[in-house]
Chain A
Amino acid sequence: METIVLASVCALALVVSAIRDRKRTLHALKIAWRRFFALLPSLLTVVAAVALVLTLVQPEAITTYLGGENTAWATTVAAAVGSITLMPGFIAYPLAGILRSQGVAYTVLSAFTATLMMVGVLTFPIEKQYFGVKLTIVRNGISLAIALVVAIVTGLYFGEIL
């Protein structure tokens, strides 16, 4: 469903763009291809690694650790992992999609992706150069709080909590 919508939006945008300016549109396609191809090996590596792990680890095990009844614990783990690790979105979202198909709750995936994008423990040394230690802690604390609120609201929306 989403794939069809995305493809249609893309086709429409492409046609409109081509009518307005063919040269620019061609340039956009070149950018798209270059980015895609640069990403492809990393992406395939992730696919291979995830496929390997998911085959060796029983889906039930994943559901027990990240799915199970204890959403609060799973969400906490997901938020901690998301805050600490640095992972580009093009790897994190496909991974989240795969975990989703294994029955992991949206709440948990939301906690993971939101903290991943908003909270930067590993970027702390960079951030403190601009903001100083105190403000960096405050800013990341606020980001973490917002990410957790997002996860909770997501859980409520999808009827996973309460």
Chain B
Amino acid sequence: MKKQQTRKWIVLAAFSIVLAVAAVIDAGPARAVVGNIWTFALSLLTVLPPAFVLIGLFEVWVPRSLVERHLGADSGAGGYFWAFLLAGTTVGGLYVAFPVAWTLQRKGAHMGVILAYLGFSGITRIPMTLFEISFLGAEFTLVRYLTAVPLVVVSSWLLGRLLTARGFELRNPESA
């Protein structure tokens, strides 16, 4: 990880030097590129620090274990709410969500709630939402939440019922 990080910095440094030289001798569109980079970087650097501070605060105050405890058996309709919260705190993409889904099944969560969790993990992750608001605006995010959340709840509930009736269970790839 560290090595990879260093390599990225080296590539960036090399790129900057080439670009700086090109800009000084005014070769091709080098100066326009520098102008673009400056504009983009500036907008990024005003948005990102507060977003990251919020992410840090959330991780410190809402530990994952707290949420997972509420997702066990007999969680009923409330299970969907906790699935929503758990998905919000999930870091990384779907590939992180599957092992969590497996854990949820072991703790006795309903199939519908598990499916809702997977659906939500593509919708409500907090870091993702903060980025979205920063770059596309709060209205965009609001429209997306209001449309996607009910659809995920309904579809997960229906599919969950169907699967439970058929006795379906998640597999554990580690044991296979």
Interface residues of A (CB under 8 A from B): 2-3, 5-7, 9-11, 13-14, 17, 24-25, 27-33, 35-36, 38, 41-45, 47-48, 50-52, 54-56, 86, 88-90, 93-94, 96-98, 100, 106, 109-110, 113-114, 117-120, 123, 126-127, 129-132, 135, 138-139, 142-143, 146-147, 149-150, 153-154, 157
A47 and B37 within 8 A (CB): yes
Closest Cβ of chain B to A96, distance in Å, is 6
Contact present for B12 and A31 (CB under 8 Å): no
> Using Cβ atoms and an 8 Å threshold, which residues of chain A touch B171?
129-132
Give the secondary structure class of A's interface.
Answer: helix
The B interface is mostly helix, strand or loop, or mixed, namely helix
- A28 near B130 (CB under 8 angstroms)? no
A56, B29: Cβ atoms under 8 Å?
yes
- B residues in contact with A154, CB < 8 Å: 140, 143-144, 147
Whether B21 sits at the interface, judged by CB under 8 Å, is no
- Size category of the binding interface on chain B: 35 or more
CB distance from B154 to the nearest CB of A (A): 10
Of the candidates A6, A24, A96, A131, the one whose C-beta lies within 8 Å of that of B50 is A6
Question: Which of chain A's residues has its CB closest to B40's CB?
Answer: A47
B65 at the interface (CB under 8 A from A): no
In the bound assembly, the distance between CA atoms of A61 and B19 in angstroms comes to 24
Please judge, given known A-B contacts A129-B173, A130-B102, whether A157 and B139 are in contact too, CB under 8 Å.
yes
- The 28 listed contacts between A and B (C-beta, < 8 Å) are A2-B137, A9-B50, A10-B54, A11-B50, A27-B60, A31-B59, A35-B52, A44-B12, A45-B11, A54-B36, A56-B29, A88-B93, A93-B132, A93-B135, A94-B44, A96-B136, A100-B136, A109-B136, A113-B132, A117-B125, A118-B123, A126-B94, A132-B171, A146-B119, A147-B148, A149-B147, A150-B148, A153-B143
**Considering the chains assembled together, what is the distance between the CA atoms of A31 and B61 in angstroms?**
12
Contacts of A113 in B (CB 8 A): 132, 136
Chain A residues lying within 8 Å of B123, measured Cβ to Cβ, are 117-118
Q: In the bound complex, do residue B59 and residue A127 qualify as a contact, i.e. CB atoms below 8 Å apart?
A: no
**A114 contact set on B, CB distance < 8 A:** 144, 148
**For chain B residues 2-45, which have a beta carbon within 8 Å of chain A?**
5, 8-9, 11-12, 15, 19, 29, 32-33, 36-37, 40-41, 43-44
Closest Cβ of chain A to B107, distance in Å, is: 15
- B127 an interface residue at 8 Å Cβ cutoff? yes
